[in-house]
Amino acid sequence: MTAELIFVGTELLLGDILNTNAQYLSQQLAALGVSVLHQSVVGDNAERLADALRLALSRSDLVLTTGGLGPTKDDLTKEVAAEVCGLELALHEESLSAMKSFFAAKGVQMPQSNEKQAYLPKGAVIFRNTNGTAPGCAMETGGKWILILPGPPREMKAMFRLSALPFLRRFSDSVLVSRTVRTFGIGESAMAERVSDLLDLENPTVAPYAKSGEALLRVTAKAETAEKAEALIAPVLQQIDARLHDVIYGVDVGSIEEAAVALLKEKKLTVATAESATAGLVAKRLTDLPGTSEVFHCGIVSYSDDIKARLLGVDETTLQTQTAVCEDVAVQMALGALRQSGAHLAVSITGLAGPGRDELGRDAGLAYIAMTDGETLWKNKITTGHTEGDCRDYNRTVFASRVLFEIYRYAAAYPRKAAFGSPLNESLRKERTK
């Protein structure tokens, strides 16, 4: 079973928008065991769209399109697809009334222009749009199907989940199951070398890839049932774990923050953050998923020296003599955050996101991280090696990921603190309770 994705919209060809639909649909179809061998993007042009649809039908069983279902005259996906399939458009009363009530719910009258969206190919399976106006549909031609979906991700995703997915299940002859092993602190090639022999496997396949400073391994098995696929994957996961145990933080966890938050909840730990270079990114990521309030209480973004001193009690002499980017400041920030928050654990980061050098000539990509629970202290200096150009975003992401990874490691070791930090010395204990 093969499928092909066609994304329609001049705004994609101009780079006005990022094509997030491509990733979403690819993941969804992969999970269905449908092989996507081609994706393409065409503009709002009838001829090129027709060519793309015909080419796709010639080499794939299924064609999914997104975009070009709007009310304006340059929206023509539905019209072109219907023509390619030799179908006529007719007013679909049910869709029209659904659209009218959609506007009514907002207390707005439906603009005349939207009526166009209620015209659909005769005999098509209609997909209702629960998050917008344009309905989608599935139309058949010569035993193959074209599914057209709206462009706005919120509308497309909801329609895919509620209508297209149930529709597609009938075509799926096998199941593809994937497990993603997530690591932190090791490069993609170094990771790949540790499992190089596994990369030649055919079922399951093992594929390394890198994503915003992390190295991941995707293990994918194809079988008649999910159970059989799982059975193929299990032994391979064991081998991977044996070789990469020290850097793996999770399998099929969405992200480091997700893994960290899950452990904090499990061990009933609370955390506070004191951020300089990342300026709230750690706090934001800790709360990306709902229900983190039980583990995350407080974050302080101390962007200026003045605030580091005033809110976190960082020693002003230290700030003057060593600048805000040094180990002592990181340690004092963490102690300050612990004091202010009353959390079990406080983490801090101060660094140079860049681009460029600081007044001491130090390159961007340098950061100091500290973490303390009042008894043990852990601290570290990191360098990302990204010093110029568009390094700022990358560095802040990696800085934040490192902090989240250390929170994860602390929670994983907890209560075996010795396994993690070193005891807080006397002066720092005083510092803590000052």
Task: Map the footprint of its own copies across residues 220-249, applying CB under 8 A.
Answer: 220
Interface with its own copies includes 302 (CB under 8 A)? yes
* Euclidean distance between CA atoms 404 and 287, whole angstroms: 12
Decide whether 124 or 346 has the Cβ nearer to its own copies. Answer: 346
Residue 395 Cβ, how far from its own copies at the closest point, in Å? Answer: 11
Q: Give Cα 97 to chain centroid, integer Å.
A: 36
Q: Are 414 and 270 in contact (CB under 8 A)?
A: no
* HSE toward the beta carbon, residue 174, CA cutoff 13 A: 15
**Per-residue string for binding with its own copies, 124-153, x by CB under 8 A?**
----------------------------x-
User: Could you tell me if residue 371 is left (phi over 0), alpha (psi between -120 and 50 degrees) or otherwise beta?
Assistant: beta
Residue 135: what residue type? P
In the list 209, 225, 317, 360, the residue contacting its own copies (rule: CB under 8 A) is: 209
Strand-strand pairing, 125-127 and 205-211 = unpaired
Per CB under 8 A, contacts with its own copies among 334-353 are 340-342, 353
* Euclidean distance between CA atoms 304 and 154, whole angstroms: 39
In the list 278, 348, 350, 376, the residue contacting its own copies (rule: CB under 8 A) is: 278
In the list 300, 334, 335, 398, the residue contacting its own copies (rule: CB under 8 A) is: 300
Per CB under 8 A, contacts with its own copies among 15-44 are 15-20, 22-28, 30, 36-43
In the list 96, 279, 412, 428, the residue contacting its own copies (rule: CB under 8 A) is: 279
In terms of Cα–Cα distance, which of 319, 330, 420, 325 is closest to 369?
330
Cis omega (within 30 of 0) for bond into 355: yes
Decide whether 110 or 411 has the Cβ nearer to its own copies. Answer: 110
Residue 409 Cβ, how far from its own copies at the closest point, in Å? Answer: 22
**Per-residue string for binding with its own copies, 166-205, x by CB under 8 A?**
------------x-x--------x--xx-----x------
**Per-residue string for binding with its own copies, 374-393, x by CB under 8 A?**
-----------xx--xx-xx
Strand-strand pairing, 62-66 and 35-42 = unpaired
Cis omega (within 30 of 0) for bond into 204: yes
Residue 88 Cβ, how far from its own copies at the closest point, in Å? Answer: 27
Number of chain residues interacting with its own copies (CB under 8 A): 96
Interface with its own copies includes 290 (CB under 8 A)? yes
* Euclidean distance between CA atoms 123 and 116, whole angstroms: 18
Q: Are 271 and 344 in contact (CB under 8 A)?
A: yes
Residue 385 Cβ, how far from its own copies at the closest point, in Å? Answer: 7
Q: Are 168 and 62 in contact (CB under 8 A)?
A: yes
Residue 38 Cβ, how far from its own copies at the closest point, in Å? Answer: 6
* Euclidean distance between CA atoms 158 and 165, whole angstroms: 10
Decide whether 87 or 176 has the Cβ nearer to its own copies. Answer: 176
Residue 122 Cβ, how far from its own copies at the closest point, in Å? Answer: 27
User: Could you tell me if residue 15 is left (phi over 0), alpha (psi between -120 and 50 degrees) or otherwise beta?
Assistant: left
Going by the DSSP 8-state scheme, the letter that residue 287 receives in this structure is T
In the list 1, 98, 307, 413, the residue contacting its own copies (rule: CB under 8 A) is: 307
* Euclidean distance between CA atoms 400 and 275, whole angstroms: 9
Residue 32 Cβ, how far from its own copies at the closest point, in Å? Answer: 12
Interface with its own copies includes 273 (CB under 8 A)? yes
**Per-residue string for binding with its own copies, 65-84, x by CB under 8 A?**
------xx------------
